[in-house]
Amino acid sequence: MLAGRMRYSVTILRRAVIMGDPGGAPRGDFSDAFATRASFKQASGAKAVEAGLAEDQSRGLLRIYDCAQNRTINVADRIRVEGREWAVESVSLPDRTRRFIEIVVARKIGG
């Protein structure tokens, strides 16, 4: 996967702060925060089958440009790629030489 091929427009979703909520913690529904360009590669399910997980799941690797706005993405966010919402599992430290950030995303159904 090449970092320069940012083919997807992805939307970062964050929880909204409910007005009048004591403490001001974000507890509302997820809403659009901002959009950015990304490359996306979906991982194979072979590792999940080997681990014997009893759930349907998809994992992927998202690579985005390193900028101040994209550095705010964390595991509490969701990411919409082509109309499907993915949970953020981990966010790597920015790679200063290649100028990108790698994000591991997952969709899990069942249990």
Look at residues 15, 54, 12, 17 and name the one whose alpha carbon lies nearest to residue 34.
Answer: 12
**What are the pLDDT digits (tens) for 30-66?**
999 999 999 999 877 666 666 666 556 788 999 999 9
Strand, coil or helix: what is 105?
strand
SS3 percent helix, strand, coil of the chain, rounded to 5, is: 10, 55, 35
Look up residue 89 and give its amino acid.
E
**What are the pLDDT digits (tens) for 60-108?**
999 999 999 999 999 999 999 999 999 999 999 999 898 999 999 998 7
Q: What is the pTM of this model?
A: 0.80
